[in-house]
């Protein structure tokens, strides 16, 4: 029963991301990562034995801990990517604000000059 | 004739700005002034307009470094030869600008810093500031073999080469102090220091007050220095560079 629930959850997640991308509320390039996450959930809920097999190969005694490890890596990586985007966006925003202030200053000076003519 | 721009980052300085501007107009009137209003919430802009001072208005608060960098970009775009960084709180004295300018032109330096510590002045130094400056001085001496007595001084004159570089810098530091000096020294810019007089600020609060803020500041600067040195070593593995005394 729980397998069907999680398979459904995986599909729902993929659909949700797809709708967001379609409505231009989520960038296509960033959505790939999340769709892959959804596919992973779907795949693992249908074939839960995969985790056991991978754990056996890696020598992990308690297979669910592999699941937690993978989930942690996924989350940490996505937070790191976010921080990276924020840094770049902040720097670009600062540059734009600077340029805006300089242009505004130029515009005010020009209009003052015209008034004085 | 060199064109000099005095950049004054201001944030809520309605009580100080008039005196600062009058001081500059009286004691160093051969330079242009640009005030960078960092989204002040008081009457700073009104004061600037009333005095007819050219100013940039940032659309949101960016902090000292963000405001300063806006002024540097303005200088780059408008073809100035030198930029003087000047505080809007009345700490810096306009009569000292002439000394900085003379030093940078006669010695063809890149940066000249106005130091409070080179001679004994009556500037009141809080203990924390003193210890901080001493540690940063030591760090500069160890990494660059150069004696800078007042690395936290914001009173500096910059050559065009320097302010162009600053204005284009990605990740211009939040606190452009010892870290930036080390970076410029490692890249063989010529930095000098001359003694200047400074005044204690009369109104408003400094950005380094309390206990937690200075601690954060120290950690950030140390981290920034570490990154700068590692980046430099990584890019120049043979250990070239470093300025001589």
* CB-CB contact of B77 with A102 (8 Å): yes
Q: What is the pTM of this model?
A: 0.86
Chain A neighbors of B59, CB-CB under 8 A: 97, 100-101
Interface check B234 vs A, CB under 8 A:
no
Q: How far is A94 from chain B (nearest CA, A)?
A: 7
In 3D, which of B79, B99, B84 has the Cα closest to residue B33? B84
C-beta atoms of A101 and B59 within 8 A: yes
Quick: pLDDT tens for A54-66. Answer: 999 999 999 999 9
C-beta atoms of A102 and B69 within 8 A: no
In 3D, which of B157, B159, B155, B136 has the Cα closest to residue B196? B155
Interface of A with B in 96-115 (CB under 8 A): 97-102, 104-105, 109
Quote the percentage of chain A above a pLDDT of 90: 85
Mutate to test the interface with A, among B54, B70, B75, B170 (most CBs of A within 10 A): B70
User: How big is the A-B interface in CB pairs under 8 Å?
Assistant: 36
Q: What is the reported pLDDT for B125?
A: 67
Q: What is the reported pLDDT for B244?
A: 44
> Alpha-carbon dihedral of residues A49, A52, A54, A57, nearest 10 degrees?
-130
Instruction: State yes or no: ipTM above 0.90.
Output: no
Beta bridge partners of B33: B6
Q: State the DSSP string of A22-87.
A: HTTSS-HHHHHHHHHHHHHHHHHHH-THHHHHHHHHHT-SSHHHHHHHHHHHHHHHHHHHHHHHHH
C-beta atoms of B73 and A99 within 8 A: yes
Q: Give the count of alpha carbons within 13 A of A38, CB side only.
A: 16
Quick: pLDDT tens for A52-100. Answer: 999 999 999 999 999 999 999 999 999 999 999 999 999 999 999 999 9
Q: How far is A80 from chain B (nearest CA, A)?
A: 18
Q: Give the span between the Cα atoms of B229 and B223, in whole angstroms.
A: 10
C-beta atoms of A91 and B171 within 8 A: yes
Q: How far is A98 from chain B (nearest CA, A)?
A: 5
Q: Give the span between the Cα atoms of B117 and B212, in whole angstroms.
A: 25
Q: What is the reported pLDDT for B78?
A: 96
What is the mean pLDDT for each group of 10 consecutive residues in chain B (245 residues)?
95 94 96 96 96 96 96 97 96 96 96 86 69 90 93 95 95 92 96 91 63 86 94 81 45
Q: In degrees, to the nearest 5, what angle opens at C-alpha B35 toward C-alphas B44 and B68? A: 115
Tokens of A91: 């720097």
Interface of A with B in 8-47 (CB under 8 A): none
Element housing B82 (H / E): strand B82-85
Q: What is the reported pLDDT for B179?
A: 94
Q: What is the reported pLDDT for B200?
A: 76
C-beta atoms of B56 and A109 within 8 A: no
Nearest CB to B74; choose among A97, A100, A102: A102
Q: How far is B235 from chain A (nearest CA, A)?
A: 22
pLDDT top residue among B130 and A25:
A25
């Amino acid at each position: 029963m729980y397998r069907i629930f999680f398979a459904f959850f995986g599909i729902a997640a993929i659909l949700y991301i797809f709708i967001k991308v379609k409505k231009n509320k989520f960038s296509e390039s960033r959505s790939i990562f999340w769709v892959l996450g959804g596919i992973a959930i779907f795949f693992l809920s249908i074939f839960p034995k995969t985790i056991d097999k991978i754990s056996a190969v890696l020598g992990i005694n308690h297979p669910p801990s592999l699941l937690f490890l993978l989930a942690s890596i996924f989350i940490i990586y996505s937070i790191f990517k976010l921080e990276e985007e924020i840094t770049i966006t902040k720097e670009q925003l600062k540059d734009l604000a600077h340029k805006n202030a300089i242009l505004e200053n130029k515009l005010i000076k020009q209009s003052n000059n015209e008034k004085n003519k | 004739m060199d064109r000099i721009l005095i950049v004054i980052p201001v944030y809520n300085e309605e009580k100080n700005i008039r005196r600062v501007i009058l001081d500059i107009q009286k004691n160093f009137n051969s330079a242009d002034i640009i005030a960078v209003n960092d989204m002040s919430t008081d009457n700073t802009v009104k004061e600037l307009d009333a005095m007819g001072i050219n100013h940039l208005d940032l659309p949101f608060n960016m902090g000292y470094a963000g405001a300063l960098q806006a002024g540097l970009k303005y200088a780059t775009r408008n073809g100035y030869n030198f930029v003087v960084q000047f505080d809007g709180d009345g700490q810096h004295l306009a009569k000292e600008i002439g000394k900085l300018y003379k030093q940078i032109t006669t010695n063809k330096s890149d940066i000249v810093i106005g130091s409070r510590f080179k001679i004994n002045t009556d500037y009141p130094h809080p203990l924390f500031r003193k210890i901080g400056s001493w540690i940063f001085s030591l760090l500069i001496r160890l990494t660059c073999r150069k004696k800078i007595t007042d690395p936290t001084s914001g009173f500096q004159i910059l050559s065009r080469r320097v302010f162009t570089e600053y204005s284009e810098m990605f990740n211009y530091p939040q606190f452009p102090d010892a870290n930036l000096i080390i970076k410029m020294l490692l890249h063989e810019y010529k930095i000098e220091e001359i003694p200047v007089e400074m005044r204690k600020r009369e109104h408003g609060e400094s950005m380094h007050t309390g206990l937690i803020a200075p601690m954060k500041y120290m950690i950030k600067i140390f981290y920034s220095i570490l990154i700068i040195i590692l980046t430099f070593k990584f890019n120049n593995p043979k250990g070239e560079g470093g300025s001589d005394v």
